[in-house]
Structure 1
Amino acid sequence: MSSERPKLPIEAVELYNEFIHGGMSRRAFMTRVQGLAVAGLGATAVIEALMPNYALGQQISKTDDRIKTSYETIPSPKGNGTIKGYFVRPVSADSRSEKPSKLPGILVVHENRGLNPHIEDIARRVALSNFMAFAPDGLTSQGGFPGDDYKGGLLFNKIDKAKMMEDMQAAAEWLKARPDCTGKIGVTGFCYGGSVSNNLAARMGADLAAAVPFYGGVPPDAEIPKIKAAVLVHHGELDKNAAASYPAYDKALTAAGVAHEGYIYPNAVHGFNCDATPERYNKAAADLAWGRTIDWFNKYTRA
């Protein structure tokens, strides 16, 4: 007899996605979860299974001796004044010399909860693929990520989104201007960060080499012709609204002459790349998407 925990129904995962995107209160979420019949699991266990487990999703230790990390606070005069972020660079013999080798930079943008431990781990993964990575915290003006995704989401909703976008652009420009950066940068992000990736591509034009949005919203139609970066789009097949946006985006990028590719991953939901939320995580889709992401950055930021 198998001791494996029953798989949650797609309805439970969709409820979680609605909840984390601000579509319902915590109480309403818990009430609706209680209404789901999941054989072998009570409501509390279902909720626990849906919530992030950052230790489970950590692939690279914070103290890994192959990387050097720091928290940096940079000016954002058009945004919220300053933005803090997590900077990661691979350590090598060159990096310990007087003249460190220059590397391309990758901006890593969080979902709508701020710079949580999972996104910091993504930045470390990027660095171990021989890039420098910077993961800004859009919640800086509210004191930063509070250590809890639900509370982070509440803070996220308090911030002027236009100013937060300026913060993200300031972070990208800071990364690009670093003396140890080659001057070629890319951006990747998830959900809100996917939208930021698409919109930074439109805002920054030729100053951005590559953008890899995971399940992100697309820029306004009038902005798409401004994109000069190579764009790689990832969506889950079961993330129906987001996936449905790709054909029109594909057509617009083609018309604008933008180098791009897009993939819809079978049996994958919104958030499929996040191994800190096991019920959303799809390892096959995540591994394939991540491999494509690193290949994309290697192709377009090292040329």
Structure 2
Amino acid sequence: MSSFQDLPTDVGPLSAYVARPAGPVRGGLVLIHEVWGLVGHTRDVADRFAREGYVVVAPDLLADQGITEENTAGIGEALAGPDAEARNEAQPKLRALLAPLQDPEFAALTTERVRACFRFLHDDTEVAGRVGITGFCFGGSYSFSLAVHEPRLRACIPFYGHADFSREELARITAPVLAFYGQDDEGLITGLPALEAAMAAAGADFTATVYPDAGHAFFNDSNRFAYRPGPAEDAWKLTLDFLALHVG
């Protein structure tokens, strides 16, 4: 059972795709989309988690920044594809989309909205306080952010996200973190040893899984150039096992 709902937040109503299981509820899951907005792929992933027994809240965090399914269509494939001309045409489009996201006020607004999604699930009587978070790219970064800001979080599963936090901020993380990366995602892989060291120094429970022959967005089966079935299937299994252990 899935529907769009307006969730209450301290910064105004937030549209979200909410998917509920047909049977017993194992827990709740905040699901954060990629930088392309709340597209069909994200809604499909929400439905997959619901079939596994989780109440899922997938907020639309970028529509008010002008980032919608309609105006981002095809950019991700162009960036991941073999056509150099298409990549060159897509790069300025991506930069224009990302420009508003660099504002610190946007980060604060988005963090508060993600926390509101957590509270919505945490207060759900069927969920009973058992809430995790997962997300992809942009969503992976804000999964880390919720782990820093919410001590009641049960599990954090970022896919190819950034964790640009100080050691003191990382020390606030109480939820176990299972992070996924593709070996060919050069920027994140280059910084991964430093992140692992910082997480260890902060006392965070952090596990990184890196897949060879995979890059950014390897889980996105709507992107024919980035998707890698083997790593995606393995990451899905590990994600469900991690959720079962820590959330429900």
Shorter chain as denominator, the TM-score bin is 0.7 to 0.9
Q: Percent identity between the aligned chains? A: 31
Q: 1:114 aligns with which of 25, 37, 53?
A: 37
* Cα distance in 2 between the residues matched to 1:146 and 1:119: 11
Give the structure 1 partner of residue 242 of structure 2. 296
Who is 1:212 aligned against? 157
C-alpha distance after superposition, 1:160-197 (max 9, x if no partner): 23212211111111111112212111000000000001
Whole-Å Cα distance in 1 between the matches of residues 136 and 44 of structure 2? Answer: 13
Tell me which residue corresponds to 2:55. Answer: 132
Name the counterpart of 1:61. Answer: none
Give, in whole Å, the separation in 2 of the partners of 1:162 and 1:112. 17
Q: Does 1:192 align with 2:192?
A: no
**Cα 1:270–1:143, aligned 2, differ >3 Å: closer, same or farther?**
closer
* Deviation string, structure 1 residues 74-96 (Cα, Å, up to 9, x no partner): 1221x4x121111111113xxxx
> Partners of 1:134 and 1:121 in 2: how far apart?
12
Residue 78 of structure 2 is matched in structure 1 by none
Report the counterpart of residue 7 of structure 2 in structure 1: 74
The answer (yes or no) to whether the contact 2:155–2:247 under 8 Å persists in 1 is: yes
Match of 1:86 in 2: 17
Is the Cα contact below 8 Å between 1:239 and 1:269 reproduced in 2? yes
- Mark the structure with the bigger radius of gyration: 1
Unaligned 5+ segments in structure 2 are 76-92
SS at match of 2:130: strand
Query: Aligned in 2, Cα 1:176/1:144: closer, same or farther, shift over 3 Å?
Result: farther
The range that moved more, 224-233 or 258-267, is: 258-267
Quote how far apart the aligned CAs of 1:157 are. Answer: 4.4
Could you tell me how far apart the structure 2 residues matched to 1:119 and 1:138 are?
A: 12
2:170, 2:204 within 8 Å by CA — same for their partners in 1? no
Number of positions where the alignment pairs a residue of Structure 1 with one of Structure 2: 224
CA contact (8 A) 1:202 1:219 kept: no
8 Å Cα contact 1:198/1:213 also seen in 2: yes
- Shift in Å at residue 258 of structure 1? 2.4
Q: How has the CA–CA distance of structure 1 residues 178 and 232 changed in structure 2, closer, same or farther, with 3 Å as cutoff?
A: same
Secondary structure of 1:181's counterpart equals coil
Distance of 2:67 and 2:4 partners within structure 1? 12
1:266 is displaced (CA, Å) by 0.2
SS in 2 for 1:233: strand
- The alpha carbon displacement at 1:204 in A equals 0.6
Unaligned runs of 5+ in 1: 1-67, 93-100
- Which one has a larger percent helix, Structure 1 or Structure 2? 2
Query: Secondary structure of 2:220's match?
Result: coil
Q: Would you say the 8 A contact 1:137–1:144 is kept in 2?
A: no
Q: TM-score, normalised by structure 1?
A: 0.69
Deviation, 1:149, is 1.6
Change (3 A) 1:279 1:140: closer
Describe how 1:166-205 pairs up with structure 2 within 5 A: 166-205=112-151
1:285 matched to 2:231: yes
- TM-superposed deviation, 1:247: 1.6
Contact between 1:215 and 1:242, CA under 8 Å: does it hold in 2?
Answer: yes
Shift in CA distance, 144/170, structure 1 to aligned 2, threshold 3 Å? farther
